[in-house]
């Protein structure tokens, strides 16, 4: 039986965190290729350290784009805001080692004759939704993301110019009867200029925490930790090397739900690590939005070169109001869960991925140009109808 009274913690990292810098560059490369060729293939990995960026992986698309990759990487770093001695968008050394996609992978994945397009790899992907927040996301990761997004906004606007791009947040929330009721601790470590006092940083952080938390949820003063080490001037890839794909729990549900293990950033939507995780979130969110459950976990599994999912698992954690077996059948009817079906349903073959690299791939507002299409709740009416709700 699940515990109903407990403390649960999730963390987030900012767009300037070393790993997120790498995710952003890798996704910018994906966008570069998809903007030119919607069926391009990209598997891009990035490493960043002191004034050095290394980009490697496999691509299939217009050869002319390779010479634009360095420019795209520099623009991503510039947009994040790195103009520091140890990591500067204009002076960092950029090495590009992208090569053609393996022909063996292409044979298994590409559609041919009567064979539909297969999954780009084997693996398991999870989606999750719950009623804890308006975005139907777990509360600890939701507030962790929101704090860093707000701080990034005031940094970019110039309202708080002493903030640096690199930051981490962490919220521990008390749950009673399975629902969050307040924060037991809040942690923020944020890069800053040498001229600002720790007290000013603390009070600025307090204002933003109070802005995002529901009234009365603020943690005790002694559990409010802001820059616990006392100094965070050197940050970003100059302070710690970054790699694509190392923040997969930050990218999803903050540990409140299972994760299949595959990273998202740097991968085109034929890779089910990405597209099927988006589909699973889409379906789970629509189930909860339709009022069929208060929590919903969906697992999809695939084999490389095989078009249909090997399994579709649904768990509503005892909060469901409908039969889960029937729900699984209805969801399969409402959405084609083959790699091609997912891409077409969610319209994923577009340059919409650089924006996903920070502050979570889920719990975001759908964009007018198709970004975050997996956050739509356009299946609610069909789900209600199927169950007579």
Residue 132: active-site member: no
Residue-wise DSSP of 191-241:
EE-TTS-HHHHHHHHHHHHHHHSPTT-PPPGGGEEESTTS---S-GGGTS-
Whether the per-residue pLDDT at 214 is higher than 70: the answer is yes
Binding site for ATP, residues?
17, 166-168, 231-232, 240, 246-247, 263, 267
Whether the per-residue pLDDT at 114 is higher than 50: the answer is no
Domain contains 36:
no
Binding site for K(+), residues?
45
Band (pLDDT 50/70/90 cuts) for residue 380 is very high
Do 221 and 280 have their domain in common? Answer: no
CB 295 within 8 A of CB 130: yes
Query: Could you tell me the pTM of the whole model?
Result: 0.95
Q: Which of 8, 11, 15, 17 is catalytic?
A: 17
Q: Taking residues 330-347, report their average pLDDT.
A: 96
Task: Report the alpha-carbon distance of residue 327 to residue 278 in Å, rounded.
Answer: 18
For residue 215, what are the domain limits? 6-13+139-234
Whether the per-residue pLDDT at 223 is higher than 80: the answer is yes
Do 366 and 284 have their domain in common? Answer: yes
Residue 31: active-site member: no
Do 291 and 382 have their domain in common? Answer: yes
Give me the pLDDT at residue 203, please.
97
Determine if residue 105 is left, alpha or beta; phi over 0 gives left, psi from -120 to 50 gives alpha, anything else beta: alpha
| Average of per-residue pLDDT values in the chain | 94
Q: Which of 155, 246, 274, 281 is catalytic?
A: 246
Binding site for L-methionine, residues?
58, 101, 240, 271
Do 204 and 302 have their domain in common? Answer: no
Residue 168: active-site member: yes
Residue 246: active-site member: yes
Do 198 and 182 have their domain in common? Answer: yes
To which residue do tokens 């891409």 refer?
343
Do 279 and 380 have their domain in common? Answer: yes
Residue 273: active-site member: yes
Band (pLDDT 50/70/90 cuts) for residue 96 is very high
Cβ contacts of residue 389 below 8 Å, gap of 6+?
A: 290, 291, 292, 383
What is the distance between the terminal CA atoms of the chain, rounded to a whole angstrom?
Answer: 28
Do 164 and 127 have their domain in common? Answer: no
Do 199 and 300 have their domain in common? Answer: no
Give me the pLDDT at residue 389, please.
74
To which residue do tokens 């707000």 refer?
150
Do 281 and 230 have their domain in common? Answer: no
- Final residue of a structural domain among 234, 260, 280: 234
Do 171 and 127 have their domain in common? Answer: no
Residue 323: active-site member: no
Domain contains 350:
yes
Q: Which of 41, 74, 145, 267 is catalytic?
A: 267
Residue 365: active-site member: no
Return the CATH number at 279: 3.30.300.10
Residue-wise DSSP of 24-61:
HHHHHHHHHHHHH-TT-EEEEEEEEETTEEEEEEEEES
Q: Which of 23, 273, 315, 375 is catalytic?
A: 273
Domain contains 49:
no
Give me the pLDDT at residue 1, please.
52
pLDDT tens-digit readout, 181-211: 999 999 999 999 999 999 999 999 999 999 9
Domain contains 294:
yes
Give me the pLDDT at residue 119, please.
82
Binding site, residues?
17, 19, 45, 58, 101, 166-168, 231-232, 240, 246-247, 263, 267, 271
Do 277 and 221 have their domain in common? Answer: no
Domain contains 62:
no
Give me the pLDDT at residue 272, please.
94
Q: Taking residues 85-92, report their average pLDDT.
A: 97
Q: Which of 24, 168, 192, 345 is catalytic?
A: 168
Residue 121: active-site member: no
Residue 58: active-site member: yes
Cβ contacts of residue 207 below 8 Å, gap of 6+?
A: none
Residue 20: active-site member: yes
Residue 19: active-site member: yes
Residue 179: active-site member: no
Q: Taking residues 375-381, report their average pLDDT.
A: 98
- Final residue of a structural domain among 180, 214, 234: 234
- Total domains, the chain: 2
For 21, the 3-state DSSP assignment is: helix
């Amino acid at each position: 039986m699940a515990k109903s009274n407990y403390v649960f913690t999730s963390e987030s990292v900012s767009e300037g965190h070393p790993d997120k810098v790498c995710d952003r560059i890798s996704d910018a490369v994906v966008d570069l290729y998809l903007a030119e060729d919607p069926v391009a293939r990209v598997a891009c990995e990035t490493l960043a350290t002191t004034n050095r960026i290394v980009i490697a992986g496999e691509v299939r698309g217009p050869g002319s784009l390779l010479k634009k990759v360095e420019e795209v990487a520099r623009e991503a770093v510039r947009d994040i805001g790195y103009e520091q001695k140890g990591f500067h968008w204009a002076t960092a050394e950029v090495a590009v080692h992208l090569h053609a996609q393996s022909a063996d992978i292409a044979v298994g994945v590409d559609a041919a004759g009567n064979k539909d397009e297969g999954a780009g790899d084997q693996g398991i992907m999870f989606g999750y939704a719950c009623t804890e927040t308006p975005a139907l996301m777990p509360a600890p990761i939701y507030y962790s993301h929101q704090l860093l997004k707000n701080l990034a906004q005031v940094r970019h606007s110039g309202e708080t110019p002493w903030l640096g791009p690199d930051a981490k947040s962490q919220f521990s929330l008390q749950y009673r009867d399975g629902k969050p009721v307040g924060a037991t601790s809040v942690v923020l470590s944020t890069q800053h200029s040498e001229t600002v006092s720790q007290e000013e940083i603390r009070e600025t952080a307090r204002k933003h925490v109070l802005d995002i938390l529901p009234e009365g949820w603020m943690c005790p003063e002694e559990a409010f930790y802001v820059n616990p080490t006392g100094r965070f001037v050197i940050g970003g890839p100059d302070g710690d090397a970054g790699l694509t794909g190392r923040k997969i729990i930050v990218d999803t549900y903050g540990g409140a739900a299972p994760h299949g293990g595959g990273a998202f950033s740097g991968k085109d939507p034929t890779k089910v690590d990405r597209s099927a995780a988006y589909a699973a979130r889409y379906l789970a969110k629509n189930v909860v939005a339709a009022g069929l459950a208060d929590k919903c976990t969906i697992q999809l599994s695939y084999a490389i070169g095989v078009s249909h999912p090997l399994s579709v698992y649904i768990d509503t954690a005892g909060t469901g109001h409908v039969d889960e077996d029937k729900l699984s059948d209805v969801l399969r009817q409402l959405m084609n869960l083959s790699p091609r079906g997912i891409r077409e349903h969610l319209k994923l073959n577009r340059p919409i991925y650089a924006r996903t690299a920070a502050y979570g791939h889920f719990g975001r507002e759908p964009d007018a140009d198709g970004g975050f299409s997996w956050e739509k709740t356009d299946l609610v009416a069909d789900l209600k109808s199927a169950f007579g709700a």
